[in-house]
Structure 1
Amino acid sequence: MTRAELVAAARDSIARGSKSFAAASKLFDPATRERAWLLYAWCRRCDDIADGQDHGHTMRAVADARAQVAELAALTEAALRGEATGDPAFDALGLVAAEVKMPSQWPRDLVAGFRLDAADWRPQTESDLYHYCYHVAGVVGCMMAVVMGVDAADDATLDRACDLGIAFQLANIARDVAEDAAAGRCYLPRDWLAELDVSPDALMAARNRPGLAVLAQRLADGAAKHEASARLGAPALPLRSAWAVLAAAGIYGAIGREVAARGERAWDARVTTSRAAKLGHVARAGWQAANRARLYRPAGRDPTLWTRPRGLPPA
């Protein structure tokens, strides 16, 4: 496929897979937008293979999860070598990785997150939770940063990008507790569950709702802290990239806050963001981006936040 064909396929993928990210991506300059679509297409395709989904919808049990992850890992490695794979999403990764000189370790770190799920992994501690969030979302923030022009050796800005990915994932985990439980998964640390006497074997039972509400608030608080940290990286980005990032931060931040606000009823219906609310976040983000140097003054990163693996990964 030509570059134009790969971009068109990637554009279709993000339109079907995430209305929120599709909306935010329109704020990028054209070159960054296309590269963001290419990266998204690969991330979406890997997630679909690992979870038996179609663009993030209708999760189902995967017969041999380890074999599926081995397949996507092999395709990823081929793409990183610059080989044509026959799958537009993996070819999209090869294209964007070459264009922005993306460190190869980052796509491999994301694949490692899929391996955790394939192994039926469960977090035992809060540190385990953040380790998982890095592998499935924080490292995507790092990849998106280099797509937006951040140097792959700029640890300070990459830390902020990773923080935003982690904030998104914490909000997702809070929102999707019931959906994950139905698929036999639980990303709430075992020691958190034990602390509040929540049974992981009957997670959505009525008796567990008060404890789950407490944990949803804990996740939302963690998401808010990482979002606030991520926003301090906005001055390092070009105007339109900062606008897109801040819009996405506002949209996903609202999801986490709404889950927490609903308390025990948070999982009666899926939390979503209306079109009007998205537009509101986009408008506010435009003003924030234009004033980012004043609003988000440089400051040391909160030392209590979980820290990603540091330094430039091997190429």
Structure 2
Amino acid sequence: MLAPSRILRTTPTQPGGGREREDLIDHAEDSIIRGSRSFALASRLFDSDTRDKVWLLYAWCRRCDDLADNQDHGGDLGEQEGAERRITAIRLLTERAMEGLPTADPAFDAFGLVARECGLTREMAEDVIMGFELDAMGWRPRSEADLARYCYHVAGAVGVMMAVVMGVSRDDSWMLDRACDLGFAFQLANIVRDVSEDDKADRRYLPLEWMVEEDIEPGMVMHPHHRQELADIAARLIERMERHEAWARMGAARLPFRSRWAVLAAARIYGAIGRRVRELGPHAWDRRVVIGRAGKLRHVAAAFVEAVRNKPEQPAEPPPWHRGTILIDVRMSGPIPPPPMEPLPD
């Protein structure tokens, strides 16, 4: 009886790695409350089934971001040594979760569950993980095209998965493009708001070529005598944000009412952040721009009216970045190699 068993037992595959669905939802709810108060508020406008699935997906995104940056729910960056190993761990845990195997991490188990329920694919997950990989590599955009690709990986690709979770067909390219536009808009608002914080963490997401045009020397982006030039760059990014935001509204018009309301509320809140940065100009980084709870509730109310009316204005021009073009580049060229440290264009 003490002899080793000759029967090889395999781990059974189960959605969520065998965890109870309600337990995973509770964990995901806690994660979104701690990680993003704006998105947590907007997410409560979904119908309960969609809301739970959105939370499950968010928990995975938040956990991957925290693992990649060695932080806790978007807090201060930890020691960055070993970033490549952490990205490898993210890929392995994600693959295991999608196979229905337990991961010992509820956020990854949550992703396995929602991926199974909604038909999220490994390719979708990999598109998002590549964004974490770019940050782990210390990558910085040289051109606007580089920035477009980064924004796709860290936000546009998330928007695509969120759309599928909301019930959009994976074959509906137009709707997925609009979801990607919403992700672009969110990320551009985040970038202009967080320039100072990113600079302190030795990160930069402003295209180097734009900085050269404005005569901002490498490493001097937050220097006081460059505040007007920085404000000019921010205004360019917000103009792009607004064009993507307008097209995202066209997509929201085709969603069920509760999903439309939630999407429009989030778009209004993040859009307000970007427009406030533009309004403040050179003083936008004196303190972090935030939208208070009262302001958020006003945007939720305005989004309700907009969702009921459901007559978005047709944008005059297409958005500057297109998911299809970026995807072709991603599929053909693979990961972007890290550039030399802050080279100046010839």
TM-score by length of 1: 0.95
Matching residue's letter, 1:151: S
For 1:57, the equivalent position in structure 2 comes to 75
Secondary structure in structure 1 of the residue aligned to 2:141? coil
Alignment partner of 1:198 is 2:213: no
Residue 94 (structure 2) aligned to one of 65, 68, 76: 76
Do the aligned partners of 1:61 and 1:183 also contact (CA within 8 Å) in 2? no
- Secondary structure of the 1:232 match is helix
Give, in angstroms, the shift of residue 308 of structure 1. 1.0
User: In 2, distance between residues paired with 1:119 and 1:309?
Assistant: 25
> Does 1:305 pair with 2:320?
yes
Give the superposition deviation at 1:260. Answer: 0.9
- Change in CA separation of 1:305 and 1:24 when aligned onto 2, cut-off 3 Å: same
1:301–1:94 distance in 2 versus 1, CA, 3 Å: farther
Instruction: Determine if contact 1:229/1:301 at 8 Å carries over to the other structure.
Output: no
CA distance in 1, matches of 2:41, 2:33: 9
- Equivalent of residue 198 in structure 2, options 177, 180, 185: 180
Comparing 188-197 with 45-54, greater Cα deviation is found at 45-54
**How far did 1:301 drift?**
9.0
Q: Secondary structure at 2:219's aligned position in 1?
A: helix
CA contact (8 A) 1:32 1:148 kept: yes
Query: Which structure's CA Rg is the greater one?
Result: 2
Distance 1:167 1:255 in 2: 11
Q: Map 1:278-289; keep pairs closer than 5 Å.
A: 278-289=296-307
Match of 1:274 in 2: 292
Name the CA shift for 1:268/1:61 in 2 (closer, same or farther; >3 Å): farther
Structure 1 residue 300: deviation in Å?
A: 8.3
Are the counterparts in 1 of residues 243 and 319 from structure 2 also a CA contact under 8 Å? no
2:63 pairs with 1:48: no
Which string of whole-angstrom CA distances, capped at 9 and with x for unpartnered residues, describes residues 218-259 of structure 1? 111111111011000122210000000000000000000001
1:234-273 matched pairs, under 5 angstroms: 234-273=252-291
Alpha-carbon separation, structure 1, partners of 2:92 and 2:316 = 36
Q: Distance in 2 between matches of 1:118 and 1:309?
A: 25
The whole-number CA distance in structure 2 between the counterparts of 1:52 and 1:184 is 15
Q: 1:9-63: per-residue Cα shift (whole Å, max 9, x none)? A: 0000001111100000110000000000000000000111111221111223412
Give the C-alpha shift of residue 207 in structure 1. 1.8
- How far off is 1:103 after superposition? 2.4
Q: Which amino acid aligns with 2:38?
A: S
Partner of 1:37: 55
**Does the CA-based 8 Å contact 2:240-2:319 persist in structure 1?**
no
Structure 1, unmatched stretches of 5+, are none
Shift of 1:164: 0.3
How far is the alpha carbon of 1:74 from its aligned partner? 1.1
Partner of 2:127: 109
Q: Does the 8 A contact of 2:25 with 2:56 survive in 1?
A: yes
Q: Deviations over 1:183-238 (max 9, x none)?
A: 11000001000000112312211122111110111111111111011000122210
Q: CA RMSD in A?
A: 1.7
Q: Which residue of 1 aligns with 2:342?
A: none
Q: Is the 1:32–1:147 Cα contact (8 Å) retained in structure 2?
A: yes
Residue in structure 1 matching 2:159, options 141, 161, 164: 141
Partner Cα distance (1:6, 1:30) in 2: 15
- Answering whether residue 328 of structure 2 is matched by residue 291 of structure 1, we say no
1:225 corresponds to:
243
1:128 corresponds in structure 2 to: 146
The offset of 1:73, in angstroms, is: 1.3
1:36 and 1:147 in contact (8 A); partners too: yes
In structure 1, C-alpha distance between the alignment counterparts of 2:142 and 2:116, rounded to whole Å = 37
TM-score normalised over the length of structure 2: 0.87
Aligned residue number for residue 13 of structure 2:
none
Determine what percentage of the aligned residue pairs are the same residue: 53
Give, as a single letter, the amino acid of the residue that structure 2 aligns with 1:96.
Answer: V
Residues 97 and 111 in structure 2, CA contact (< 8 A), matched pair in contact too: yes
Q: CA deviation at 1:92?
A: 0.6
Q: CA deviation at 1:138?
A: 0.3
Give the CA deviation at 1:82. Answer: 1.8
Runs of 5+ in structure 2 lacking a partner? 1-18, 332-346
Equivalent AA in structure 2 for residue 308 of structure 1 = R
Determine if contact 2:216/2:229 at 8 Å carries over to the other structure: yes
Q: Deviations over 1:79-111 (max 9, x none)?
A: 122211110000111000100111221111000
**In 1, Cα distance between the equivalents of 2:316 and 2:231?**
29
* Counterpart Cα distance in 2 of 1:3 and 1:304: 39
Q: In 1, Cα distance between the equivalents of 2:177 and 2:317?
A: 11
Inter-partner Cα distance in structure 1 for 2:319 and 2:22: 44
Matching residue within 199, 202, 226 for 1:208: 226
